[in-house]
Copies of this chain bind each other. A is one copy, B any other.
Amino acid sequence: MVGTTTSSDASRQALRACRLFADLDEVSLGLCAAALRPRRFRKGETIFHTGDPGDSLFLVSSGAVKITIPPDDGSEPAILTTIGPGGFFGELSLLDGAARSATAVALESTETQILRRDAFDTLVDSQAAIRHNLLVTLAGEIRRLTAQVEDLHFLDLPGRLARHLLRTIVIREGLDPATADELTGEHRLPWPYTQSELAGMIGGSRQSVNRLLADLVDEGLVRFEADDLVIPDAARLALAARR
């Protein structure tokens, strides 16, 4: 069965790239790979909604997904985070059996691998390495959210924008989030976001974000090149993020 073999290879690829399955021996990796089912989403497609029941974890092989909270009126949704290749999402409902707490939407064409609850439970129970990685990742998630609450409390909009950009660098480059303030030098970020989305991420209006971005460009702190955002001097931007 050529199809099956190909699918399994793709699954192995996805696993290797994902922090959750790091440090796993070949045999265990094969076991995990067998439990995965691939699923592709088109740009803008909704993967699940707030309030849905959920019993699957999604690994992102390629593309990107935004985790949002829809407003009940028609305004801009809040964007909690975005997940890129190697990341995963949807684990909460697996852990506590409750409904989805947020909505997941594909930012671009995205390839995912789905892991269902029974397989997930088996893996977590039998593989100490996966268990450890899971706990570390959840802790990281909590720290990220804590930092977000902190920003919303203490920083004004320009500050939140600057800090958000720094954090995005750190995430994209896989660095320690705690070092966001000590970044230096030039960085280049792929930038698939609209200004409305950016506004949703930092808790501001589209118009304000537009103005603040223009300010940053004027001051030479950031620059747009094709589909990338270039930050010539991260240290200088970090200064602008100070409380």
For chain A, what secondary structure do more than half of its interface residues adopt (helix, strand, loop), or is it mixed? Answer: helix
Choose one: B73, B98, B149; the contact of A80 (CB below 8 Å). B149
A138 touches B95 (CB 8 A): yes
Among A55-63, A140-148, A185-193, the stretch in contact with B: A140-148
Chain B residues contacting A141 (CB-CB under 8 Å) are 142
Chain B proximity of A88: nearest CB distance (Å): 14
Cβ B203 vs Cβ A71 within 8 A = no
Chain A 94-116, CB within 8 Å of chain B: the 1/0 string?
01101101100000000000000
Tell me how far the C-beta of A241 lies from the nearest C-beta in chain B, rounded to whole angstroms.
12
Residue interface mask A124-163, B partner, CB < 8 A = 1 = 1100100100111011111101111110111000000000
- In the complex, are the beta carbons of A153 and B78 less than 8 A apart? yes
Q: Contact check, B139 vs A142: say whether CB atoms are below 8 A apart.
A: no
